[in-house]
Amino acid sequence: MSGGTRIGILGGTFDPIHVGHLEAASAAIGALSLDRVMLLPARIPPHRSVEPRASVYHRFAMTALAANRSEAMLASDLELRRDGPSYTALTLEALHHDGFTASELFFVIGADAFAEIATWYDYPRVLSLAHFVVVPRPGASLPKAAASILVVEANTPDVSSTDIRRRVASGESIEGLVPRGVAEHIKRHRLYVPAPIPAVM
């Protein structure tokens, strides 16, 4: 079914997805000649202590809007359709079930997240399910390349979903931090805006 296609996978909470995510995907596409990168919003991020601020619907919608900027990117609801925590090992196993082999899958991950790989579900076996493509993140050191670990040099912007949510909540601009369609979606649906305080009667 896969036909030798080289597929990148970039997962995350995407609350919201931003230019840092997209630059990482683009860097991997260019460096590794990937045919496509799947952008996968997590239903329940296993390494996040609080629930996502935006709903599953809005996070997928923003991911789809961001993917529209490149023919090589595709928003996928693979993890959103599965109950329970969105474990990478289960996601990669699902892709194997669809006919892909480990050699055809390239899991794109920031250096900061990769630093915690030993705490992941089904580690170290998860490393055998795909190539892991580590992309630099400001303030995080890169690992040494190994059999299943590839390091892609890229200048990813210093932007975070946490800072974007803070900016929206305080009325600051997020221009240039997210694709225009994502910014418009956030504004249209008043995402990340504090709930109004009820008037005291």
CA neighbor of 41 nearest in space, from 55, 24, 28, 20: 55
Strands 73-75 and 105-110: unpaired
pLDDT-based confidence at 1, cuts 50/70/90? very low
Confidence category of residue 153, pLDDT binned at 50, 70, 90: confident
Give mean pLDDT, residues 52-61: 96
Report all structural domains of the chain as residue ranges with CATH numbers, in order of start: 7-188 (3.40.50.620)
pTM confidence score: 0.91
Sorting pLDDT into bands at 50, 70 and 90, what band is 197? low
Tell me what the pLDDT averaged over the chain comes to: 92
Q: What's the Cα-to-Cα distance from 56 to each of 15, 45, 81, 134, 165, rounded to whole Å? A: 9, 12, 10, 26, 16
33-45 residue pLDDT tens: 999 999 999 999 9
SS3 4: coil
Tokens of 124: 């170290």
For residues 152 and 137, is the Cβ–Cβ distance under 8 A? Answer: no
